[in-house]
Amino acid sequence: MSERFTGSFTQQEPIPEAGIEAALRVMQSGRLHRYNVVEGEIAETALLEEEFAAAMGATFALAVASGGYAIATALRALGVGPGDRVLTNAFTLAPVPGAIASLGAVPVFVGVTESLVIDLEDLAAKLDQAEVLLLSHMRGHICDMEALMALCNAAGVRVVEDCAHTMGARWNGVLSGRHGVMAAYSTQTYKHLNSGEGGLLISDDPDLMARAIMLSGSYMLFDRHRAAPPPEAFETVKYLTPNISGRMDNLRAAILRPQLAQLDAQCAAWNARYRVVEEGLRDLPGLTVIERPAQEDYVMSSFQFLLLDWSDAAVAEVLRRCADRGVELKWFGGVEPSGFTSRYDSWRYAPSDRMPATDRVLRGVLDLRLPLTFSLEDCALIARIIRDEVGSVFQSGV
């Protein structure tokens, strides 16, 4: 009888007890708003910002309502506005081009390689079209950051990093988010820290962060931030920067702080699960495992593989067979967007020329979550099921 997986791909771990206790204290106080503090009290949100800046090795940090809001705030702080063109990955999730379009700006999509990272040759060809690159480390895959920054610096293009999938990851020992002028993170449920929704923004630039804090809706209470620029950085921008309220509240910050303290251990646990699936799928005809470069210290809470040049019908058959055995795969090659999967040609508010090489890769991308509620044995079972079904369909002809 065929093995079957019975776990849930959307079930996350409980919030740590320390986070639950901190949340209860906040609720009992009634002071959920980040600026609603009593004398001598430091808001949970201010403490989270201070701790996150230290964890990421950044000078400044800002906690906001979502990762998408963090991205849009970074772009606004850089002066991106209506009609401006912003380079970004063709392989990413909808909040990335959505953040660009929300400013009235225009996404210019850059291709993806078979390693699922931004295509540096395509980027080099398009650098003269924009002054900002919004770089998405999509699904935790990090490109050669030295090469990317050399290209962008030579062209005068400023880089904002979308680190929604790479909190705690590194390239050549440098933390993800520390190459660009600003970096945005998400604390949505399926990310490395879980507050349901939430976002964080870091930078070493006092002018950019002063504008970001004003944009977030600080009123004139910026002195209550502990990971903010000095007061003089706000002197001009406080009169010129619109309030686009998107603050994080103390309740979410309270449940995030204990998770941040456990981040390194959680990252190691995710990677252990990733490696079990990776080894289980190696050397399977028809299936491409994404090889990770030695310079990349990844943090993988999901797994991707490629079925390159398979027909749509064959891929759909793999999806059906795996689903029948309890394994939920997401396919970026489907004609219609589904759930969290969509492609650059799905976003009709941001029309683009076709990119045949990128289309080939996207048609082959399959994706699955690896929540920490899975054991290593669960991951081995999932790999066996995928291996069985991909192998069976491949043998019958793709």
Per-residue pLDDT band at 334 (split at 50, 70, 90)? confident
Answer whether residue 382 shows pLDDT above 60: yes
Residue 178 has a pLDDT of 98
Q: Measure the CA–CA gap between 16 and 209, rounded to whole angstroms.
A: 30
- Supply φ then ψ for residue 194, to 5 degrees: -120, 110
Answer whether residue 1 shows pLDDT above 60: no
Per-residue pLDDT band at 37 (split at 50, 70, 90)? very high
End-to-end CA distance of the chain: 25
Domain 17-261 classification at class level: alpha beta
Amino acid at position 102, single letter: S
Residue 239 has a pLDDT of 95
* Number of neighbours of residue 257 by Cβ within 10 angstroms: 20
Q: Measure the CA–CA gap between 37 and 224, rounded to whole angstroms.
A: 10
Residue 140 has a pLDDT of 98
Residue 185 has a pLDDT of 98
pLDDT digits (tens, 9 = 90+) for 191-232: 999 999 999 999 999 999 999 999 999 999 999 999 999 999
Q: Measure the CA–CA gap between 117 and 119, rounded to whole angstroms.
A: 6
Residue 232 per-residue DSSP state: G
Q: Mean pLDDT across the stretch 377-387? A: 98
Per-residue pLDDT band at 171 (split at 50, 70, 90)? very high
CA-wise closest residue to 80 among 89, 71, 68? 71
Residue 361 has a pLDDT of 97
Question: What angle in degrees, to the nearest 10, is found between the helix axes of 95-102 and 67-77?
Answer: 40
Residue 14 has a pLDDT of 96
Residue 85 has a pLDDT of 98
CA-wise closest residue to 281 among 389, 196, 360? 389
pLDDT digits (tens, 9 = 90+) for 229-274: 999 999 999 999 999 999 999 999 999 999 999 999 999 999 999 9
Per-residue pLDDT band at 339 (split at 50, 70, 90)? confident
pLDDT digits (tens, 9 = 90+) for 292-331: 999 999 999 999 999 999 999 999 999 999 999 999 999 9
Domain boundaries defined on the chain: 17-261, 263-396
- 158-162/302-306 β-pairing: unpaired
Domain 263-396 classification at class level: alpha beta
Residue 338 has a pLDDT of 82
Mean pLDDT value across the chain: 96
Give me the percent of the chain exceeding a pLDDT of 90. 95
- 106-110/85-89 β-pairing: parallel
Q: What is the DSSP string of 349-382?
A: TS-----HHHHHHHHHEEEEE--TTS-HHHHHHH
pLDDT digits (tens, 9 = 90+) for 42-54: 999 999 999 999 9
Answer whether residue 159 shows pLDDT above 90: yes
Per-residue pLDDT band at 398 (split at 50, 70, 90)? confident
